[in-house]
Amino acid sequence: MHFIIDKSQLMNGIQHVNKAVSTKTTIPILTGIKFDLTAEGLTLIGSDSDISIQIFIPKIDQEKEYVKIYQEGKIVLPAKYIVEIVKKLPSDEIEFEQTDHLSVIIRSGRTEFRLNGYDAEEFPNLPQIEEEQVFKIQSDLLKSMIRQTLFAVHTLESRPILTGVLWELENHMLKFVATDSHRLATRTSMVETLNDTTFHNIVVPGKSLNELSKILEDEPTTVQIIVTENQIQVKMKHLLFYSRLLDGTYPDTSRIIPDKFKTNLILSKQEFADAIERALLIAKDDKNNIVKFTTQEHLMVELSSNSQEVGHVTEQIQANEIDGDQIKISFNAKYVLEALKAIDSQEIRIEFTGALSPFVIKPVDHDWALHLILPVRTY
């Protein structure tokens, strides 16, 4: 392997694949990034066996020469060192020359590193994906859908299936569901499918979605997604992202979402979020973050929280609309705040069926998101 590469292209590539590299693995070769140089360009791969990321840096792209190729070859280099070395090299061009299949010389300006690596033949192969179920989505939309559901997954390993986000696709409608059994977040969107792609019970690990979200671009570009029985592959230009799926059956959450309500109100999202943040200052003194919510006369809502030791807080908010019965309910303010932050709407609708039943928070502007929260029994 012998080539000269543009520093910023290489930096960008290794920073991306590095997101799949685990520092905690017990398999030494997985702490490395695979460099594979062919006549077409350089392929970089990082993998922690759950997630794999592959980046291709072409020899020439849009008439710019990124890689000068002298001799093909491959090696696995330790991610921790190669990322730092490339970042700090003095010149805009970097030369890599393999001295044997376990080490390379890296030259830039008057700097020369000799770095020990691993045998590329021992690096695990990427999963073989058959194009079973395929759909297309814009990168910024996918990123939003992840942000708007991921926070609600279970973080403890006690119920492994709940640490992932459920993906369902039917009639061109993609739906994400996440729940930790105290609250639930859903987000749906229309997507473009090949033929009539349909799938259910596809559960993508939360950790994978977190990494995927960092890679997805904010500018809308088309992303192609292939779903198989045990893997998902996300295809972007020159980038492939793989994640294994979680085993098991995701619980049927459709039945717990109420469809009749006794109290219904509309609030400014920002005012409600600000008031909850202040109430949390006292509420978080106790682990359940309990805030009391009471509707009052003249479209007013009162929030309050109490801590024996610290003190007390009372907030009043003016609602835009209150219909139905008076309600007096307590909830975990952190769950409500996280739901509010995930909603893209100036106003939100809250629907209650009683002080002991789950309530729903929805955007007023659209129907694509729904948050369900279990109240806490205090009254």
Do 308 and 283 meet the contact criterion of CB atoms below 8 Å apart?
no
Confirm or reject binding of residue 312 to its own copies (CB under 8 A).
yes
Q: Which is nearer to its own copies, 87 or 214 (CB)?
A: 87
Shortest Å distance, C-beta 31 to its own copies: 12
Shortest Å distance, C-beta 8 to its own copies: 18
Q: Which is nearer to its own copies, 85 or 348 (CB)?
A: 85
For 8, 106, 252, 336, 365, the CA distances from 157, given in Å and listed in that order, are 39, 42, 20, 23, 36
Helix axes 206-215, 139-150, angle to 10 degrees: 140
CA distance 68 to 46: 23
Total site size for its own copies, rule CB under 8 A: 30
Q: Which is nearer to its own copies, 275 or 372 (CB)?
A: 275
Using the rule CB under 8 A, which residue among 72, 84, 119, 321 binds its own copies? 84
Q: Which of residues 90-129 bind its own copies (CB under 8 A)?
A: 90, 103, 110-116
Q: Which is nearer to its own copies, 301 or 329 (CB)?
A: 301
Q: Which is nearer to its own copies, 317 or 373 (CB)?
A: 317
* Gap between the terminal Cα atoms of the chain: 71
Do 1 and 71 meet the contact criterion of CB atoms below 8 Å apart?
yes
Tokens of 98: 């393999």
Q: Which is nearer to its own copies, 116 or 155 (CB)?
A: 116
Q: In what order do the strands lie in the sheet with 51-58?
A: 73-78, 32-38, 41-47, 51-58, 239-244, 231-236, 222-227, 133-138, 192-193
DSSP string covering 64-88, please? Answer: EE-EEEEE-EEEEEEHHHHHHHHHH
Q: Which is nearer to its own copies, 51 or 89 (CB)?
A: 89
Confirm or reject binding of residue 78 to its own copies (CB under 8 A).
yes
Confirm or reject binding of residue 259 to its own copies (CB under 8 A).
no
Using the rule CB under 8 A, which residue among 50, 59, 81, 294 binds its own copies? 81
Q: Which of residues 263-302 bind its own copies (CB under 8 A)?
A: 274-275, 277-278, 281-282
**What mask, x for binding its own copies by CB under 8 A, covers residues 152 to 191?**
----------------------------------------
CA distance 318 to 255: 33
Long-range contacts of the stretch 58-62 (C-beta < 8 A, 24+): 58/238
List interacting residues with its own copies (CB under 8 A).
Answer: 78, 81, 84-85, 88-90, 103, 110-116, 274-275, 277-278, 281-282, 309-317
